[in-house]
Structure 1
Amino acid sequence: MSLSTRVIAALGAVVVIGAGTVGLSIAHASSEGKPNEPKATLVVGRSSMAAGPACYNDGKPLDEAAQAKCQKDAQKALQEGTLPSSDVKIGDRIGVGVAPEVAEKGWFAFTDGGQQQRATLASTRTGSTFSGLLPASGLLASTKKTQVTVVEANEKTGDIIGVWYFQLNNEDAVGEQQQPATQQSQ
């Protein structure tokens, strides 16, 4: 018994559609069950970068041990230069943005620079997703690297929900510049 060309074409179409459906189902299933991690955005001048949180517990509060580990890991990453980073000059303006779901609960942002060794980018706020642009001169540490910290905090309970870190590389900093390579004697 031989199959007609139409039957073969129909079976081929079913196989292709079935394979496409299975592929789509696998792609959909692989994204299911993963926590939705909101992003924070660092704006420097006319450029921006977004990053996921360094510490996040699927929208649940971070306990004190998790917060301490998060801070320790961030300091290590800052020293190693592995935080999401952006070059900045004293004349630039800096801002921070958060996802609407973060703004809904509440957030604040600061740097480890400025005159008091901590400069506020955004005081505790809800509803607003952007800090506005502030002069870099008042936000930068006197060293080459300045850490930016963005914190999602439930304004009603005070619980810390997520923490993002960025690194600003101060192109105008003095003192921590690379040493010139020494010439080898001939």
Structure 2
Amino acid sequence: MTSALSRSKTRRTAMAAGAAVLGLVALSACEKPTPLATVTVGSNSASAEAACYNDGKRLSQEKLKSCFSENSGKKVTVHDGEKVRVGVDPEIAESGWVMVVNGQPTMAEASKDTYRTFDFDQIFAPQQSTPGGAAAAPKTAKVAIIELTGGDKPKGLWQFNLSKAS
């Protein structure tokens, strides 16, 4: 009886040690999460980690273009006249950030704020018209929050897809 009890105890100890080792291996494989950016419209919010982030180091222009061209990003619906509120982690604000809508900057200079509000018209402004055609306001807007280095170089990009409510 003693040997069966001893074997059972040894098995439990070995299983516990194995679980601990597997847990440590799993934790070491995890990457540190990136800072978050959040877009809020009315009572709807969408938060996202960075689509591109190089441990807070500068991103190359090629990497930035590649990330921006990806069709990713959380979706948020915006009704006519609603405010679009953007919040960023303090880490992003400390570096400074800008917002780009459909590839066009929406801010005159980088912000160090953790929270900014944008009007509906700033997001869904009519696009430049074609010769002989009238400008039409887009139905969707690809919004990118870009964290900057001290020298105004990109070091992170967060994406959101905003669409006008029908």
TM-score by length of structure 2 reads: 0.77
Which residue in the other structure is 1:177 paired with?
none
**Which digits, 9 at most, give the CA deviation of each residue in 1:57-115, with x for residues without a partner?**
221112233333334x14xx2xxxx43211110132211111222122111224349xx
- How many Å separate the matches in 1 of 2:15 and 2:58? 46
When Rg is computed on C-alpha atoms for both structures, the one with the higher figure is: 1
Partner letter of residue 88 of structure 2? V
Residue in 2 that maps onto 1:184:
none
Moved over 6 A (4+): none
Is the CA contact (8 Å cut-off) linking 2:33 and 2:49 kept in structure 1?
no
Structure 2 residue aligned with 1:67? 64
CA distance in 2: counterparts of 1:69 and 1:5, whole angstroms: 61
Change (3 A) 1:118 1:11: closer
Residue correspondences, number = 155
Q: Does 1:148 align with 2:133?
A: no
How much does 1:123 deviate?
4.5
Higher relative contact order (CA 8 A, sep 6+): 2
Q: Which runs of 5+ in 1 are unaligned?
A: 173-186
The alignment status of 1:125 with 2:74, answered yes or no, reads no
Aligned partners of 2:50 and 2:159 also within 8 Å: yes
Q: Is the 8 A contact 1:36 1:58 kept in 2?
A: no
Alpha-carbon separation, structure 2, partners of 1:119 and 1:159: 17
Alpha-carbon contact 2:75-2:161 (below 8 Å) kept: yes
Q: Aligned-residue CA RMSD in angstroms?
A: 2.6
Structure-2 residue corresponding to 1:176: none
- The 2-side partners of 1:26 and 1:58 are apart by 21
Identical-residue share of aligned pairs (%): 27
Residue number in structure 1 paired with 2:157 = 163
Task: Give the residue type in structure 2 aligned to 1:50.
Answer: S
Do the aligned residues in 2 keep the contact of 1:107 with 1:125 (CA within 8 Å)? yes
Alignment of 1:97-108 (within 5 A): 97-108=87-98
* In structure 1, C-alpha distance between the alignment counterparts of 2:39 and 2:16, rounded to whole Å: 43
Amino acid in the other structure paired with 1:158: D
